[in-house]
């Protein structure tokens, strides 16, 4: 059956309600504007959802406030002169248009410029796609060494890993399949942020939940993880990070 979507209001906060074939309620606050969404089993009525939302109001307001306070970049047009980030460093984009034969690519120059080579006449979406694939390639180059390092340290083994766009999470771990997914946007963050997320997801292979046991493992394997988490969450949000 298809999902059904409508809205409810709690304390002047509009909440998107999505009914689907699931067993539990899932509450999320989305950047960059703090949109609130509840995914719910079909049998739970709106009044019960309102009571649930009221019980979570302090959590909802805390996360909405965090997004409002966080620095945001203006929407990216992928043109020369724009600021783009890689490994936490700011680079000036330099778009270089090429006539056929050509090869789309991106590369760092002089520790200041990010040169983007695209076909002559390329539109915004095409330029963005080239840069996105460059980011993906960089992450896929960095991740294997980190996984090998931390699998040995933590004492776990993954079956698979991948990189994809995610709106609300920096990473996920399918404990049963032993599969880790990393958010593509981590290519823009400082290297220690990528490492922290990988450790976080690998620790889930020891402890599924975010409980005291999980925190103890994080303290044991990456003692400064709280500082890195704070750094990751304070890094400027790009509007483009969330428009997919």
Give the residue extent of every domain in the chain. 4-69, 83-242
Asked if pLDDT for residue 167 goes beyond 90, the answer is no
pTM (two decimals): 0.73
Dist. CA 79–CA 93, nearest whole Å = 7
Residue 244 scores a pLDDT above 60: no
Mean pLDDT, the chain, rounded, equals 89
Distances (CA, A) of 167 to 5, 53, 82, 125, 144: 19, 21, 23, 19, 23
Q: Which residues contact 211 (CB under 8 A, 6 or more apart)?
A: none
- Which residues are CB-neighbours of 165 under 8 A, at least 6 positions away? 183, 184, 185, 244
Report percent pLDDT > 70 for the chain: 90
Q: Which CATH architecture has domain 83-242?
A: 2-Layer Sandwich (3.30)
Mean pLDDT for the stretch of residues 121-149: 95
What are the CB-based long-range contacts (under 8 Å, 24+) for 202-209? 202/147, 202/150, 202/151, 202/154, 202/156, 202/158, 202/173, 203/154, 204/173, 204/175, 205/154, 205/156, 205/157, 205/158, 205/173, 205/175, 205/178, 206/154, 206/155, 206/156, 208/175
> What percent of the chain has a predicted confidence (pLDDT) above 90?
70
């Amino acid at each position: 059956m298809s999902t059904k979507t409508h809205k409810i209001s709690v304390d002047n906060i509009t909440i998107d309600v999505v009914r689907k074939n699931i067993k539990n309620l899932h509450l999320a606050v989305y950047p960059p504007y703090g949109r609130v969404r509840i995914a719910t089993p079909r049998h739970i009525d709106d009044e019960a959802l309102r009571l649930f939302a009221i019980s979570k109001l302090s959590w909802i307001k805390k996360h909405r406030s965090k997004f409002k306070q966080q620095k945001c970049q203006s929407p990216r047009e992928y043109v020369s002169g724009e600021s783009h980030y890689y490994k936490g460093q700011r680079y000036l984009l330099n778009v270089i248009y090429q006539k056929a034969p050509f090869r789309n690519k991106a590369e760092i120059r002089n520790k200041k410029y990010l040169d983007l080579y695209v076909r002559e006449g390329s539109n915004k979406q095409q330029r963005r796609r080239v840069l996105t694939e460059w980011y993906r390639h960089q992450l896929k180059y960095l991740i294997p060494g980190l996984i090998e390092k931390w699998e040995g340290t933590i004492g776990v083994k993954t079956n698979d890993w991948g990189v994809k766009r995610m709106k609300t999470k920096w990473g996920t771990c399918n404990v049963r399949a032993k599969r880790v997914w990393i958010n593509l946007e981590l290519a823009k963050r400082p290297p220690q942020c990528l490492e922290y997320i990988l450790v976080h997801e690998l620790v889930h292979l020891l402890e599924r939940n975010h409980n005291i046991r999980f925190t103890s493992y994080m303290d044991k394997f990456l003692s400064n993880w709280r500082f890195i988490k704070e750094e990751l969450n304070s890094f400027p949000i790009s509007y483009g990070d969330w428009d997919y």
